[in-house]
A and B are shown apart, each in its own frame.
Chain A
Amino acid sequence: MWAFINKLRSPKWFYAISARLQPWFWAAALILIVTGTIWGLAFAPADYQQGNSFRIIYVHVPAAFLAQSIFVSLAVTGLVFMVWKIKIADMAATVMAPLGAAMTFVALFSGAVWGVPTWGTWWMWDARLTSMLILLFLYLGVIALRGAFASRDSASRAASVLAMVGVINIPIIKYSVDWWYTLHQPATFTVTGRAAMPMEMWLPLLIMVLGFYSFFIALTLMRTRSEILRRESSKRWVRELAEEAN
């Protein structure tokens, strides 16, 4: 067990193993997202109340899932970095934050344009909407903190602390629709339990969610590799690799 953890924390080992994993996640992301897109946009039946505007769900829900999962990942990697000083965790956190911010923005934007035909308004200070907006600001705060310090270690620690504190917002987002039920409806998509929508609408959504997660993993592997090369550029193995890799 400890041997495995020691291996895991070695950037060199991570660089090698991620090279082998990466193509699988890219392939899965491509296949799942293309399938989910065609199915969701063209084949899933229109909603009997919302018509075709409900097709926004196929980007809205996966983006919102990723937005929250990535923030939890930031908190976990932040904790791992603070407690065990594992550099690779901090490198992953660095490259994950912008995608998380982008996904939060997608969730907010797609929700707003969905709200116009469905709720008659693009924005309301509803608990779910507000807590998602706070999530966007938390992401921007984490990203800004990384650029705000002259020393990398101080920046990493500040970003880790903000992620660990800010993660309290995640359960608030999750339960906001049950605690303060004002505008946003409770969860309609669950993996366990009875789905609140017919199979031919739910299945493409599941495919899209899995596709987005694969995309997140693939992109994180790829960008963490670049971050390793950037930060470890004085190590011998990195220098040797520079000659052959392209």
Chain B
Amino acid sequence: MAFDTFREFLAMGGHATYVWSAWGLTAVLLLGAVLHARFERRQVLRQLRRRVRREAHQAGRNAGAQPIQTSRGRSTNEA
């Protein structure tokens, strides 16, 4: 152990500002990178699921009754 007390450890022999700012920035960026990667993965999966569901839904509708063209030009599945 290079320090006798925790207070001395924090003081870094008078170089606390330099040591802790350099280490702090590194910690923030590394942790931030991990959190970002986790968020990114969840988001990509969520979007993918939404897309698959939407397309399955559309495919299901297309496979059902053929839309009928009404006189007003709107398509409907009710007829």
How long is the Cα–Cα vector from A239 to B41 in the complex, in angstroms? 15
Chain A 90-113 interface residues, beta-carbon cutoff 8 Å to B = 98-99, 102, 105-106, 109-110, 113
Q: Is B74 on the interface with A (CB-CB < 8 A)?
A: no
Q: Contact at B18–A53, with CB atoms within 8 Å? A: yes
Interface of B, helix, strand, loop or mixed by DSSP? helix
- Find chain B residues with CB under 8 A from A46 CB: 2, 13
Question: Taking the complex as formed, is A44 at the interface, i.e. its CB lies under 8 A from any CB of chain B?
Answer: yes
A236–B55 Cα distance when bound, in Å, is 13
From known contacts A242-B52, A243-B49, infer whether A102 and B19 are also in contact, taking CB-CB under 8 Å.
no
Interface contact B13-A42, CB-CB below 8 Å:
no
Instruction: Count residues of B near A (Cβ-Cβ below 8 Å).
Output: 30
* Residue pair A56, B29 in contact (C-beta under 8 Å): no
Which residue from A37, A42, A109, A219 sits with its C-beta under 8 Å from B22?
A: A109
Note all chain B residues with C-beta closer than 8 A to A55.
12, 19, 23
Interface residues of chain B, those whose CB is within 8 Å of chain A, are 1-3, 9, 12-15, 17-19, 21-23, 25-26, 29-30, 33-34, 37, 40-41, 44-45, 47-49, 51-52
- Which of A's residues lie within 8 Å of B, judged by CB? 33, 37, 41-46, 51-53, 55-56, 59-60, 63, 98-99, 102, 105-106, 109-110, 113-114, 116-117, 215, 219, 222-223, 225-226, 229-230, 233, 238-239, 242-243, 245-246
**Can you report 16 residue pairs joining A to B where beta carbons are below 8 Å apart?**
A33-B30, A37-B23, A42-B3, A52-B2, A52-B12, A59-B22, A59-B26, A102-B33, A109-B21, A109-B22, A110-B22, A219-B33, A226-B44, A229-B48, A242-B48, A243-B49
Q: A51-B13, A106-B29, A219-B34 are in contact. List 17 more A-B contacts (CB 8 A).
A: A42-B1, A42-B3, A52-B12, A52-B19, A59-B23, A63-B26, A98-B33, A99-B33, A105-B29, A109-B21, A110-B22, A219-B37, A222-B41, A229-B44, A233-B47, A242-B49, A242-B52
